Amino acid sequence: MNPVRPSKVVTRHRDGAILAYVVDSGALGTLEPAAVFRPRRGDEVVESAVWPSLERVVYTTLNGVVCLTRAGDVVWTSKFEPHSDRPHGHHPGCELSLDGRSVWVFRPDGMAGRGGADQWVMHDADSGAVLARRELDTVGHAAFQHVHPSDGGMYLDVGEGQDGSVIVRMAAGADGEPEFVTYPWSDRCLIDLAPDGKQFMTVDHGQADVAFHHHPSGDVLFTLPVEALGHDPEETWVEWSGGYLTPDLAIVTVGREGQGEREGDEWFRCHLVDVRTGKVDGELTIEATSAYELVPLGDGTWLTGTPDSDPVRQAHTSLAPSD
C-alpha cells in the first residue's frame, strides 16, 4: 500500500468569498465546499489557506496578510510596508506549515516597489508575530510554496519572469531555528514534492526537459528531455504542471500550441513516469481543458477545475483510493 498525504484543504475564490474543500481518502467527483469564509470588506484576496479544522483562514492581499475565524473575527493582521500602489506584477502568497503552527508568507517587495529585496517570512499562526525572516536575492512576480510531507520543511519557488526561477528550501536547524538553502540553479521550476518526501520534480525554465531530484541534496536522479517522452522538441515542450500521482509515479505533461497551418491544433498529453527507474510508463487521460487545471494529490488521484469552479477529484483506475 502506497503511503498517502494526509487529508488536506484546498481553496477557491468566488464571488468575493473563500471556499474551502476537504480532500479526504474516499470522495471522488465534484467536491462541495465544506466551509465559506468572508474576507474583510474591501480586501481583494490574492492567495489563501485554510486550517484542516476549518476554523480559520489566512489570506494575502497586495499589501498585507490577514487571519480570520470562520465567523469573520480578525485573529491577526500584518501589513506590508510601505504601502504599494502598483496594481500588477506582484503576487504575495501564503502557506501553512505542516503542523499548522506557523504561516509562511512570500513578499515580492521588489516588484511591489518597496525598495528592498523579496522576503520569505514565518509568522506565528496564533499571534501573527514574526518568527523568522529571510531576505531573498530575487525580484519575483510570485512564488509557489510546497510543504514537505514529513520533516516540516518548506520549499519556495520564486518566479522572476524571463530571468528564470529560484528555489529555496527551509529546514529546522539543530537549535530549532530555520535554516535556508538556495539551490544552485536559476533555470529550473519546482513542480512538486514526492508524497513520501524522498525527492522532488522540476521542469526546465525553457521547458526542454523534466528532472527528478533527491531530497534534500537536490542531486539529479534522472532527466527526461521532450524526445524521451516521444515528442518533437521543435513543436512541443514540457509544461510547468503535473507532479506526483503516487510516490512511485509522476505525471509529466507535454503541450503543443497550434500555429500556422496547425492553427487551433492545440493539445497536451499526460505521461506517467516511474520515478524509481526513469521509465516512461504510458499516458494518463485527464478530463480538463488546460494542463494547468491538473493538481496531483500523491495518492493515485488528482484535482481538475478552473479557479471559478468547484474542484473535481478523479482517480487512476488501478490506483483509486478506498475508505
% of the chain at pLDDT higher than 70: 93
Q: How far apart are CA 17 and CA 126, in angstroms?
A: 22
Instruction: Give the pLDDT of residue 263.
Output: 53
Instruction: Give the pLDDT of residue 258.
Output: 63
pLDDT digits (tens, 9 = 90+) for 43-96: 999 999 999 999 999 999 999 999 999 999 999 999 999 999 988 899 999 999
Element (H, E) at 112: helix 109-112
pTM of the model: 0.93
Does 15 have pLDDT greater than 60? yes
| DSSP character at residue 318 | T
Q: How far apart are CA 287 and CA 317, in angstroms?
A: 14
Instruction: Give the pLDDT of residue 257.
Output: 80
pLDDT band at 183; cut points 50, 70, 90: very high
**Cell of residue 164, nine digits:** 528564470
pLDDT digits (tens, 9 = 90+) for 86-142: 888 999 999 999 999 999 999 999 999 998 889 999 999 999 999 999 999 999 999
Q: How far apart are CA 260 and CA 263, in angstroms?
A: 5
% of the chain at pLDDT higher than 90: 83
Instruction: Give the pLDDT of residue 174.
Output: 79
Does 321 have pLDDT greater than 60? no
Does 311 have pLDDT greater than 80? yes
Over its C-alpha atoms, the chain yields an Rg (Å, rounded) of: 20
Does 307 have pLDDT greater than 50? yes
Please answer whether residues 320 and 300 qualify as being in contact, where contact means their C-beta atoms are separated by less than 8 angstroms. yes
Q: Residue holding cell 488501478?
A: 318
Please answer whether residues 227 and 233 qualify as being in contact, where contact means their C-beta atoms are separated by less than 8 angstroms. yes
Instruction: Give the pLDDT of residue 274.
Output: 98
Instruction: Give the pLDDT of residue 202.
Output: 98
Instruction: Give the pLDDT of residue 323.
Output: 47
Instruction: Give the pLDDT of residue 49.
Output: 97
pLDDT digits (tens, 9 = 90+) for 198-236: 999 999 999 999 999 999 999 999 999 999 999 999 999
Query: If you average pLDDT over every residue of the chain, what do you get?
Result: 92
Instruction: Give the pLDDT of residue 173.
Output: 81
pLDDT digits (tens, 9 = 90+) for 21-37: 999 867 899 999 999 99
**Cell of residue 75, nine digits:** 485573529
